[in-house]
Chains A and B, each alone.
Chain A
């Protein structure tokens, strides 16, 4: 039984740290924003990334489904706010992805 044509490539990509799920521009920026801090409030991330609320919700859901991001609800100033946190799995995947990008840039210039 032979593997599907794309499976080898995907496995290779996963091995070298390149993560197709993170590489989508908005998701890469969400991870880049969450990586250096403990958590960011949804509204603050919306302002930082300058994207629509629905787009941010969609990308956060994808990252949450993959176990890369968790959401915490907290009430402040009588309003419920959602805080987003990059899990250790997400942080490892993001850093491996950034390392893979650096290798691609290095290989391209070599």
Chain B
């Protein structure tokens, strides 16, 4: 459909909404389920290591960082969408929705372990469930027509 002349505010608003929906679909859809499960498991492992005494967190965080980059590249190939290091379809809000709760859980777990009986394995499982659940749910929602 070609368009000519000025358009109304309603039509402009509808066009902006369509563009926003498309961007959101690019950000969330097409991810294979293993990507959310594996990344959630990695974050759970980081959370577990944070709550352990000693320096376990350093090697585990390094292994997680390397494998998450490799996982992201493999998921990108599977999706047919190539995102750059600095350019991605997820907005800051999307990233906060995805990673925010898991990050808060890790921090809250680290603080709670100082004052209360807070077992690392419970925190790790919670982080895994929250991250993988958010990713799987939002991917499934974005895939709907």
Spell out A's residues near B (CB within 8 Å). 6, 9, 13, 20, 23-25, 28-29, 31-33, 35-41, 43-45, 47-50, 76, 81, 83, 98, 101-102, 104-105, 107-109
The 8 Å CB contact of A105, one of B16, B19, B83, is B16
Whole-angstrom CA separation of A107 from B82 in the bound complex:
36
The count of A-to-B residue pairs whose CB atoms sit within 8 angstroms is 104
The 8 Å CB contact of A23, one of B15, B22, B80, is B15
Highest count of chain B CB atoms <10 Å: which of A9, A31, A102, A108: A108
User: Which DSSP category, helix, strand, loop or mixed, fits chain A's interface?
Assistant: helix
B23, A35: Cβ atoms under 8 Å?
A: yes
CB within 8 Å for A37 and B10 given contacts A24-B3, A25-B18: no
Whole-angstrom CA separation of A20 from B4 in the bound complex:
7
Closest to B25 in A: A48
Which residues in chain B, 33-88, are within 8 Å of chain A measured between CB atoms?
A: 77, 79-84, 87-88
Whole-angstrom CA separation of A101 from B14 in the bound complex:
10
CB within 8 Å for A44 and B15 given contacts A29-B22, A33-B26, A38-B87: no
Lowest 6 CB-CB distances: which A-B pairs, in order?
A108-B9, A44-B80, A41-B80, A32-B19, A104-B12, A32-B22
Whole-angstrom CA separation of A76 from B8 in the bound complex:
45
Q: A43-B80, A101-B13 are in contact. List 8 more A-B contacts (CB 8 A).
A: A20-B4, A35-B23, A36-B83, A37-B82, A37-B84, A40-B26, A40-B80, A49-B22
